[in-house]
Amino acid sequence: MKKVKFIYNPYSGENAILSQLDKVIKVHQKYGYTVIPFRISYEYDVQDAFKDIHNNYEYILVAGGDGTVDKILNIMMTLNIKKPLAIIPTGTANDFSKLMNLGDDVEEICEKILTSKPKRVDVGKINDKYFINVASTGLFTDISQKTDVNLKNTMGKLAYYLKGIESLPNFRRLKVEVDSKELQYEGYMYLMLVFNGKTAGNFKLGYKSEIDDGLLDVIIIKAGHMKDIISIFFNILKGEHLEGVPGVLYFKTKKLKIECEEDIVTDIDGERGPDFPVTIECMPKALKLLGF
């Protein structure tokens, strides 16, 4: 039988995958696959899952949230593993899976994965790390990093909203320098998002982004009058486009550099990213993805 390496995070979401393991195995057996599992835990380095990855595995299946997918992607890119990747989204936000329209039925997701052909998609790179969905910096972008894992598992998305409200007293202007072929900006901002995918925090902000166009979609929300900021956030809540909105810069690029001396961090798919300065670039069609 063909083999698939199944890496799952039992802590993602509300331990969602634990009650679905039999479905994963059942569907794979139906298609002639043997499932070789690796359980992510604090006792073992997730990189251990890849020790035997070249022993005739057809693809890598990951069950977890955006942060889990980010960890697996970084290992694959660092070790130059060319196997196709497939995702069962079981986290709190699951932003990247929304681009793939995977849904939340594990049996249907496995069927979709096993009947699909690998699609080559872009990968974002920020200094020496990689991301598949979004890199961000500014206000609120480290909420996922600061939200307690147990709180996320107990309260789900509400935990993020509560942490966001807690961060409101830190609302301030942040000075940045952004340099790309398409745009140079030196000034103040509140938030910057660099999309390879489309969605952040369940909001489809990178609405023009394509996963295989060799470009990243950049959104900068400039610091300005409060009435403009309120208008921008109403647009976000209503799911309306941000291009052409006063106070927002939206452009596509292959590569950009960001410098910032403020006391803020970068975030990549819910995990802490590198410190400034950072160079962010698109790696065209660097990953084979199943499930489209």
pLDDT band at 176 (very low <50, low <70, confident <90, very high): very high
**Residues 200-218 pLDDT 10s:** 877 778 888 999 999 999 9
Per-domain residue ranges for the chain? 2-116, 129-286
**In the prediction, which pLDDT does 193 show?**
93
CB 89 within 8 A of CB 78: no
Residue type, 121: V
- Of 90, 65, 83, 119, the closest CA to residue 269 belongs to 65
Q: What are phi and psi of 229, to 5 degrees?
A: -65, -40
**In the prediction, which pLDDT does 164 show?**
44
**Residues 262-285 pLDDT 10s:** 988 899 988 889 999 999 999 999
**Residues 12-59 pLDDT 10s:** 877 889 999 999 999 999 999 999 999 999 899 999 999 999 889 999
CA distance 58 to 235: 43
DSSP characters over 213-226 = SS-EEEEEEE---H
Mean pLDDT estimate for the chain: 86
Q: Which CATH class is domain 2-116?
A: alpha beta
**In the prediction, which pLDDT does 283 show?**
98
Total Cβ atoms within 10 A of residue 253: 18
**In the prediction, which pLDDT does 227 show?**
63
The SS3 of residue 199 is strand
Residue type, 287: L
Q: How many helices (H) and strands (E) does the chain have?
A: 8, 17
Is the link from the previous residue into 277 a cis peptide, with omega within 30 of 0? yes
**Check whether domain 129-286 has CATH 3.80.30.20, yes or no:** no
**In the prediction, which pLDDT does 238 show?**
60
**Residues 135-174 pLDDT 10s:** 999 876 644 445 444 444 444 444 344 444 444 455 678 9
Tell me the whole-structure pTM to 2 decimals: 0.86
Enumerate residues 6+ apart whose C-beta is below 8 A from 229. 190, 221, 247
